[in-house]
Amino acid sequence: MSRDGIRSFSLSDFDVDGAVRESLSRLPGHTRAGFLRRAAGAGAAVAGGFALRPGTAGARAGGSSGDIGILNYALSLEYLQASFYTEAERMGALQGALAHQAQVVGAHERDHVKAFKAVLGSAAIKQPSFDFHGVTANPDAFRSTAVAFEDLATAAYKGQAPNIQSATYLAAALAVHSVEARHAAWIRRLAGFLPAAQAFDDPLDAPRVIDIVNSTHFVTLQAPDTSAGTSPGFTG
Amino acid sequence: MSQQGTLQDEQGSGGLVRLSRGALLSRSLVVLGAIGGSALGAADLAASSGSQSGSGPSPARDQEILNLALLMARLQAAFYADALRAGRLTGESHQYADVVGKQEQAHVQYLAAALGPAANQSPRFHFGDATSDPTRFIATAVSLETTSLEVYNGQAVNLTPTTLAAAARIVSVEARHAAWARALAGQDPAPAAVDVPISVNQAKSVIAPFIG
């Protein structure tokens, strides 16, 4: 079931092939994976409300509820990546430069998770369950999925940066954003792609990012709330 | 590389001390603890470095920052062009200079167009053996690309949202360049979980030897 999703996702080379991105964005959403929706809902609302509005010059002072949504959205992406690299390390199928990349980058992504969780405190969303469908045990599949994840994360952070109201949170998000770009360059080189394929990196908005993540079927269950049980019907 | 270490060291404690006076103390400290102080440093650097033009982003401030970005892009474009002319690069280093040089040239054109008549004149650059010695070339590329992304990160909080969105399309490309150059230097492309921002003055001190 998930094979097509994985293959499509692996091929989603955002930097060089807008056509793939387009087709990915048209894939039907995977409703069982409500992951990201709650977090991104807030981010998207902010995007609609504030995006690129001139005259918000002095607004970056404290955090806002929109910022919390964006930070949770970031946390969701970091959960996804951290779990991916952690599992890949545990599977032990990677060797040499690829194993080293997974180890170093995985540690960064886990640090990002810790950081956003610490900042969000009790407002942090919980980690969902993931099923990477064997991608983490296959070096070729790992490599191309990692390329897609890192380019996706770079584009996702870029899409939210102008919406962040708090200067502190903006600085934090940007300090992570450029590291995601470094990760992308790193794994692209190991995959035989140009580390920097074009002069300008495009942003992706939250709905597109969510569509792409859902299309992979990597997210199997939203983190259970205390009462959620195993119901797939996520409504948050 | 050693330069980077120095910059990080300079910044760690300074950022902490100054922001502790801010109204966002408690949250900032959480961010500081969580992200290793660098994010906090960025907000603080930004707040302190532009105080003469008032607090918060403005079109005038956008121009100032974009002019610095233009200077960095011009410097890098000239650096790569000079290295290619010198003809000592081979293999992936040559490919790097060719690909990245074109991208820096695209940044120059974009930033110059965005600034229009507000764009500063370009100074003259000279690179000595940084463009003729392949080892020096890669080390200098790492330094320039890293400086570029770090000063973007430091100044981003001073930009208006529209300009920030545009700058963000460039900063991640600079980060990719820095990562690629580090790989060519035999280093991990991403040495830390966060990129420590630097101030305008720190960036200017890095590029000063190549100007004039």
Q: Which residue of B has its CA nearest to A51?
A: B161
B35/A170 touch (CB, cutoff 8 Å), yes or no: no
Which residues of chain B neighbour A52 with C-beta distances below 8 Å? 161-162, 165
Would the pLDDT of B110 be above 80?
A: yes
Render pLDDT for B60-87 as a digit per residue (tens, 0 to 9): 999 999 999 999 999 999 999 999 999 9
pLDDT at B53: 45
Share of residues in chain A with pLDDT > 70 (%): 67
SS3 for A35?
Answer: coil
Least confident of A162-166, B37-41, B160-164: B37-41
pLDDT at B6: 24
DSSP structure class, residue A128:
-
Render pLDDT for B158-204 as a digit per residue (tens, 0 to 9): 999 999 999 999 999 999 999 999 999 999 999 999 998 899 999 99
Share of residues in chain B with pLDDT > 90 (%): 70
pLDDT at A40: 44
pLDDT at A37: 45
- Alpha-carbon gap: B143 to the closest alpha carbon of chain A (Å): 15
Between A53 and B93, residue with greater pLDDT: B93
Render pLDDT for B116-146 as a digit per residue (tens, 0 to 9): 999 999 999 999 999 999 999 999 999 999 9
Q: Rounded mean pLDDT of chain A?
A: 74
CB-nearest partner of B39 from A60, A108, A168? A168
- pLDDT category at B106 given cuts 50, 70, 90 is very high
ipTM, 2 dp: 0.82
pLDDT at A124: 93
Which residues of chain B neighbour A51 with C-beta distances below 8 Å? 161
A108/B33 touch (CB, cutoff 8 Å), yes or no: no
Least confident of A4-18, A207-221, B57-71: A4-18
Q: Indicate the fold that domain B56-210 takes in CATH.
A: Ferritin (1.20.1260)
- pLDDT category at A168 given cuts 50, 70, 90 is confident
**Segment holding A103, helix H or strand E:** helix A96-120
Instruction: Round to whole Å and give the CA distance between B196 and A39.
Output: 27
List beta partners, residue A219. A130
- pLDDT category at A83 given cuts 50, 70, 90 is very high
- pLDDT category at A14 given cuts 50, 70, 90 is very low
- Test mutation, B35, B151, B160, chain A, max A CBs within 10 A: B35
Instruction: Round to whole Å and give the CA distance between A30 and A24.
Output: 12
Tell me the average pLDDT across A146-152. Answer: 96
Which residue in the block uniquely carries the two structure tokens 């939203």?
Answer: A222
B195/A119 touch (CB, cutoff 8 Å), yes or no: no
Identity (one letter) of the amino acid at A78? E
Least confident of A39-53, A106-120, A145-159, B67-81: A39-53
pLDDT at A222: 66
Instruction: Round to whole Å and give the CA distance between A81 and A105.
Output: 9
CB-nearest partner of B161 from A53, A183, A196? A53
Instruction: Round to whole Å and give the CA distance between A138 and A134.
Output: 7
Which residues of chain A neighbour B194 with C-beta distances below 8 Å? 111, 172, 175-176, 179
- pLDDT category at A119 given cuts 50, 70, 90 is confident
The structural domains of chain A, with segments of one domain joined by +, span 3-48+61-221
**One-character DSSP codes across chain B:** -HHHHHHHHHHHHHHHHHHTTSTTHHHHHHHHHHHTTHHHHHHHHHHHHTGGG-SS--HHHHHHHHHHHHHHHHHHHHHHHHHHHHT---HHHHHHHHHHHHHHHHHHHHHHHHHGGGPPPP--B--GGGTTSHHHHHHHHHHHHHHHHHHHHHHGGGS-HHHHHHHHHHHHHHHHHHHHHHHHTTS-S--SSSPPP--HHHHHHHHGGGB-
Residue B86 to residues A110, A171, B99, B205: CA-CA distances in angstroms?
A: 43, 39, 16, 25
Share of residues in chain A with pLDDT > 90 (%): 57
Q: Which residue of A has its CA nearest to B106?
A: A199
Instruction: Round to whole Å and give the CA distance between A112 and A87.
Output: 17
Between A100 and A47, residue with greater pLDDT: A100
Share of residues in chain B with pLDDT > 70 (%): 74
Which range of A19-33, A90-104, B44-58 scores highest in mean pLDDT? It is: A90-104
Tell me the average pLDDT across A91-120. Answer: 95
pLDDT at B55: 64
As assigned by CATH, the class of the A3-48+61-221 domain is mainly alpha
Tell me the average pLDDT across A218-236. Answer: 52
**B91-115 and B134-155 helices, crossing angle to 10°:** 30
SS3 for A219?
Answer: strand
Tell me the average pLDDT across A91-103. Answer: 98
Would the pLDDT of A103 be above 90?
A: yes
